[in-house]
């Protein structure tokens, strides 16, 4: 996991500015963490009112491939899809490689299905909502398959319109 102790080792903290060849980004808050990295809310500097998600992965010796590199390859393939087939995917705006980590800057998406369910009292979706969400999930999976990719980590924690949140 990249966050917690690994973040300190990578010298990443809220309030820090990360730089790419295009822009500078202020880390505003941590949004989540997983087995391969962390996601932060960031703002470009100078601030222009936009916010993005920054996904960070620590460099690790002995790893055959970087997860973010794989995601970038997938997003390039998604770019070849028809516009109607890209509605369930995020856009990548920027990226960088540093000595201790890699990161990509992408669309900041909304809440996950799990978050939305927790907000309900009782935490249950109506049949119509479950049906519509299921159809959207199947469409996104179908579009991934169209570019030759099989997603193996589909779960409620993944934002609804972002199935590439490994």
Residues with a catalytic annotation lie at 153
Asked if 78 and 162 count as a contact pair (C-beta separation under 8 A), the reply is no
Q: Which residue has the tokens 């970038």?
A: 72
Does 55 carry a binding-site annotation?
yes
Helices (H) and strands (E) in the chain, counts: 4, 6
Sign of CA dihedral 148, 153, 136, 85: negative
Phi, psi angles (nearest 5°) of residue 22 = -100, -45
Q: Radius of gyration (Cα) for the chain, nearest Å?
A: 17
Virtual CA dihedral for 13, 15, 20, 22, nearest 10 degrees?
160
Return binding residues for ATP. 55
């Amino acid at each position: 996991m990249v966050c917690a102790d690994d973040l300190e080792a990578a010298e990443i903290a809220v309030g820090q500015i990360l730089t790419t060849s295009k822009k500078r980004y202020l880390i505003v808050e941590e949004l989540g963490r997983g087995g391969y990295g962390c996601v932060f809310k960031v703002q470009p500097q100078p601030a222009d009112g936009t916010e993005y998600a920054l996904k960070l992965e620590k460099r690790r010796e002995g790893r055959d491939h970087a997860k973010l590199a794989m995601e970038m390859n997938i997003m390039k393939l998604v770019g070849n899809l028809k516009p109607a087939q890209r509605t369930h995917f995020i856009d990548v705006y920027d990226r960088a490689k540093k000595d201790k980590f890699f990161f990509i800057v992408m669309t900041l998406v909304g809440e996950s299905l799990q978050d939305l369910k927790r907000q309900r009292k009782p935490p249950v979706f109506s049949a119509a909502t479950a049906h519509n969400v299921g159809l959207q999930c199947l469409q996104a999976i179908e579009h991934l398959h169209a570019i030759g990719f099989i997603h193996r980590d589909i779960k409620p924690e993944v934002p609804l319109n972002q199935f590439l949140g490994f």
